[in-house]
Amino acid sequence: MSGEGLKIYVLATSWHTQIMDGLLAGARKELAKSGATDVTIWRVPGAFELPLAAQRAADQGAQAIIALGVVIQGETPHFDYVCSAATDGLTRVQLDSKVPVGFGLLTVNNEAEALARAGLDGSKEDKGAEAVQAALSMTSLGNS
């Protein structure tokens, strides 16, 4: 999947630094592998802010958006509200703007599950890289 010539925005939340560093590194590596050079990275406070940042990126001409974050289950229903709002908001931005959004928002029960998906040494998955792959794959629909 090629990112050459595409204007790409990567949105990354600020909570859970180690996990976010892994997700962001995976996304950067995958973007470099794709040949993408026009990449803007925005840090946002948390997952709840991802949809507004995605909308602003689309308004600024993004051709692909990568949304990275992590929400870890706690003792209150806050987890459910934030996960739902972020997911619904990113979906809405994608459908309204027709700009592909790579969904790299980890919604996990505990930190160990997040670390296993963060693309760090010893992680079994790299959801940052996978979010890039998904968004780039969607940019090619209808172009062949």
Phi and psi (nearest 5°) for 40? -115, 130
Q: Measured between alpha carbons, how far is 102 from 68 in angstroms, rounded to an integer?
A: 8
Is 78 designated active site? yes
DSSP string of 85-122, one letter each residue: HHHHHHHHHHHHH---EEEEEEEESSHHHHHTTBT-TT
Of 5, 32, 78, 140, the active-site residue reads 78
State the catalytic residues.
Answer: 78
